[in-house]
């Protein structure tokens, strides 16, 4: 994901800047809460 962002960050930002982060945040938060 990091490589894709570096290759073309403009497309990702215009496409869905908060969607990818929101999708990854809930999973990481749930994991950290369980552990």
Whole-structure pTM value: 0.16
DSSP strands (E only) in the chain: none
Count of alpha carbons within 13 Å of 23, Cβ hemisphere only?
5
To the nearest 5 percent, what fractions of the chain are helix, strand and coil? 85, 0, 15
* pLDDT given at position 30: 62
- List the chain pLDDT tens, one digit each, 35 residues: 566 556 666 655 555 556 665 556 666 666 666 65
What pLDDT does 24 receive? 63
Q: Yes or no: say if 12 and 4 are a contact pair by the CB < 8 Å rule.
A: yes
């Amino acid at each position: 994901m990091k490589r894709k962002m570096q290759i073309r960050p403009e497309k990702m930002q215009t496409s869905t800047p908060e969607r990818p982060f929101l999708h990854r945040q809930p999973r990481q938060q749930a994991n950290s809460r369980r552990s």
